[in-house]
Amino acid sequence: MSGRLAIVGLGPGDVRYLTPQASEALAAAQALYGYGPYLDRVPARPGQARYASDNREERDRAAAALKAAAEGATVAIVSGGDPGVFAMAAAACEAIEAGPERYRTLDVEVVPGVTAMLAVAARIGAPLGHDFCALSLSDNLKPWDLIERRLDAAASAGFVIALYNPVSRARPWQFGYALERLRRHLPPATPVVFGRAVGRPDEHIDVVMLERAVTAQVDMATLVIVGSRETRVIQRPGRVPLVYTPRTAATVSA
């Protein structure tokens, strides 16, 4: 019996971000696995089982889904945004690598979704128009000094930086420290975009200068885009500004 495992990206929230491929994979699944709030976004289907788990139980969730697939079921693990960006696709690969040989014979499909940084960038213009990188500020799975080194390297090399997981209840200080680190490399007027709950009813977008950025502007549903020295803000009467990074870079940022 050969089971199937799909790891499906739901996009940032709004159902219009759900791709037709993701809809097909969700419809085909006999069982869905995922963090409760993500599962809640998927309309109920008769006969389809659902296994909601806590956000921090990624390893157990991947293991449970793989076990069911190995027994012949067609299962889907759901992730917000894209499943390959700080999410379940890597957790599933880790479980396959560490698991029994039969996991390697499964049909595994990763179904991409619109990741938060792309949804936020689209809302505000084109801040990712030139070279950029993405970093998770969570030090649950890596040490904080590695995060600081990566912030230093990215900011000094002139990358625009998308920051995922800026804070959580258990990690209240990390974003403030990151700002302090970034200010060592970037001018005070560098644009910083705060995109909160993009694609959901409580969406909120804000642009401030790096010198004004504070921890109170972020929560667990916020994606932060820190500009480079090249990133520009176009003020517009009665409208949110357009933030963009030109496609050409004249200098190596110091």
Shortest distance, position 169 Cβ to ligand SAH, whole Å:
12
Distances (CA, A) of 15 to 20, 53, 69, 121: 11, 22, 27, 18
Shortest distance, position 40 Cβ to ligand SAH, whole Å:
14
Shortest distance, position 2 Cβ to ligand SAH, whole Å:
28
For ligand SAH, the closer of residues 79 and 190 by Cβ is 79
Burial 108-140 (b: 16+ CB within 10 A, else e): bebbbbbbbbbbbbebbbbbbbbebebbbbbbe
Cα distance between residue 26 and residue 32, in whole Å = 8
Helices (DSSP H) in 99-225: which residue ranges? 116-124, 144-156, 174-183
Three-state SS string over 64-130 comes to HHHHHHHCCCEEEEEECECCCCCCHHHHHHHHHHHCCHHHHHCEEEEECCCCHHHHHHHHHEECCCC
Cα distance between residue 172 and residue 175, in whole Å = 7
Chain residue whose CB lies nearest ligand SAH: 81
For ligand SAH, the closer of residues 41 and 67 by Cβ is 41
Q: What is the bridge-based pairing of β-strands 125-126 and 239-244?
A: parallel
For ligand SAH, the closer of residues 115 and 228 by Cβ is 115
Shortest distance, position 118 Cβ to ligand SAH, whole Å:
8
The distance between the two most distant Cα atoms of the chain, rounded to a whole number of Å, is 62
Shortest distance, position 71 Cβ to ligand SAH, whole Å:
27
For ligand SAH, the closer of residues 70 and 76 by Cβ is 76
Chain residues that interact with ligand SAH, rule: CB under 6 A:
12-13, 79-82, 85-87, 115-116, 120, 164-166, 195-200, 220-223
Shortest distance, position 102 Cβ to ligand SAH, whole Å:
28
Shortest distance, position 82 Cβ to ligand SAH, whole Å:
4
Cα distance between residue 174 and residue 154, in whole Å = 17
For ligand SAH, the closer of residues 64 and 116 by Cβ is 116
Kindly report the backbone phi and psi dihedral angles of residue 70, in degrees, each rounded to the nearest multiple of 5, phi listed first: -65, -25
For ligand SAH, the closer of residues 80 and 191 by Cβ is 80
For ligand SAH, the closer of residues 8 and 85 by Cβ is 85
CB 51 within 8 A of CB 96: no
User: What are the beta bridge partners of residue 133?
Assistant: 161
